[in-house]
Amino acid sequence: MNSMDSLIRYVRYMRSRDQAFWLAAATGAACTLLPFAIGSVSAKLSPALSQQGLLLLLLLFPAFLLALNGSKYLVTYTLFVWAIGPEIRRVSDWLGGEYTSVSVLSLAPLLASSMTMIPVLRGIHRMEKSGRKVLLYFGAALLYGSVIGLARNGTSFVYDLANYAIPMLLLPFFAIRRFGSADADNILSGYANIAVLVSVYGIIQYLVVPPWDAFWMNHVEMNSIGLPEPLEVRVFSTLNSPGPAAGFLACALVPMVLEKRWRGSLGWIGVLLVAFCLLTTLVRSSWLMIIVMLLVYIATSPSKRKWRTLLQLAVIALVLTWALPKLPGAEGLTARMQTLGSIEEDHSYNERLDLLNTMLPTVLHNPAGQGIGSVGTGTKLGNDGELGEYGIMDNGFLALLLTFGIAGGLCFFGALGLVARSVIVSVLRKGAMQLYARLALAVWAGAVASLFSDNGFPGLRGYLIWMLIGIGLGVSSSAADRKEESYGAVQREVVPRQERIQHVRPIRQK
């Protein structure tokens, strides 16, 4: 028996040594060939494209190395790329003195996130049946939308397809990697620290608009983001626009408020910074999403924790209510937030109602759908850098049905239902890991509720949604597996002991 165990350990050692050798060889080859590839390609490109390509590679290479090593910091790094990628693009355009509506650097967050495919492909066979069923439903919706999109929108559908599919890789990624509670806490704490950095820059942008941001605002022709003047801008910080910035901060603020371990390095100071920067984006739908997420998390919490969380929320609300009127530009902020109390008089709310009345017949008379690439920012690719007919769609349900049609929409919403079922099963498991499942359920509910304003599943917000849900499912499943393994080990120890006892008793009788 000892010799067999030694042989198994030796085989495992040799296998791990071979894997380390090939990993080192692949890394060395990449480091050696990459400079030659960059040099040969740059010689054929314009200076602006060459600069953008170099910056893109600098952002992607760390993600590639982290993915090859199976590092647990891959998700945190890709979050960082999502946060700073648009700002790097703006600075690049400003330094070059030329605005580009479609830039190679726009692909940096998606390409960095796509590196999660490396560990996913290695271990996809270990994914549970329920998780594979979710991916099957999502895959059917994306396949259907891609076929219709290719027929109606040409190859421009590829960019939108990547915005849907790449964030979804986080579901199998967390299911396979089996992160523990400490790893999940590190990701959420890192997310909080990134959100604080984004908030600090956003506050600076609100008070003193940097020249590269003003340059971008003057060329982008987006009237909804205000004027490139101090206290006149709707803050977008390092992100693309106020909407993505608000989504990024909202998804970070909820975990920061709920649990001390998820607040990052600055604690409550970081919470207040994120909350104030979120106010300056003037995106009210993000606050509605926050309210839904908090209510779901509190409703599923133990009674003792409910009162403590409610007390913390009350203190934060009192601090913001006291501090907001004393801040620069408070008049515009308070006026925007007061419309939540008289929503029927709000201009954008009435526009959404008009959109619903206008687009609902269009969706019903087009059951096949328009396909992927017909709704949202992806319409720029087939429209000379300008948004297409359905480039702005302030209703997520309509956007999904218009994209996937009735058949694809049923698959997409069916997959969301399967995700909800898995999350609820995890919530019903009592134990210390339940808080991650409650967070996943809160995020799922907030994501579905936000569909009344826009479709948050593609792109950045989709990445955040699947990250937080994937963490909840992954940690809960990992804890359940460890419990089963522990129970199995006890059983394996108890059964032989009983057999020995049964074997000894007849001898004593003799």
Is 137 found in the same domain as 103?
A: no
Which residue among 68, 92, 126 closes a domain? 126
Is 216 found in the same domain as 93?
A: no
- CB of 79 closer than 8 Å to CB of 189: no
pTM for this structure? 0.82
How far CA 414 is from CA of 126, 138, 410, in Å, comes to 23, 8, 6
Listed as own residue / partner, the contacts of 401-404 with beta carbons closer than 8 Å and 24 or more positions apart are 401/363, 401/369, 402/359, 402/362, 402/363, 402/366, 402/369, 402/370, 402/374, 402/375, 403/145, 403/369, 403/370, 403/371, 403/372, 403/374, 403/375, 404/141, 404/144, 404/145, 404/369, 404/372
Give the whole-angstrom CA distance, residue 505 versus residue 464: 62
Q: For residue range 268-313, what is the model confidence (pLDDT) as tens digits?
A: 899 999 998 998 888 888 888 899 999 999 888 877 777 788 888 8
Answer whether residue 5 is part of any domain: no
Which residue among 126, 154, 171 closes a domain? 126
Answer whether residue 6 is part of any domain: no
Count of domains in the chain?
2
Answer whether residue 13 is part of any domain: no
Is 415 found in the same domain as 304?
A: yes
- CB of 23 closer than 8 Å to CB of 69: yes
Least confident of 334-348, 380-394, 457-471, 482-496: 482-496
Is 157 found in the same domain as 109?
A: no
Answer whether residue 162 is part of any domain: yes
Q: For residue range 269-280, what is the model confidence (pLDDT) as tens digits?
A: 999 999 989 988
Range of the domain at 120: 28-126
Counting Cα atoms < 13 Å in the Cβ hemisphere of 490 gives 6
Is 311 found in the same domain as 402?
A: yes
- CB of 225 closer than 8 Å to CB of 281: no
Answer whether residue 415 is part of any domain: yes
Q: For residue range 466-507, what is the model confidence (pLDDT) as tens digits?
A: 999 999 888 877 655 555 444 454 455 555 555 555 555 554
The answer to whether residue 30 scores a pLDDT higher than 80 is: no
Mean pLDDT, the chain, rounded, equals: 79
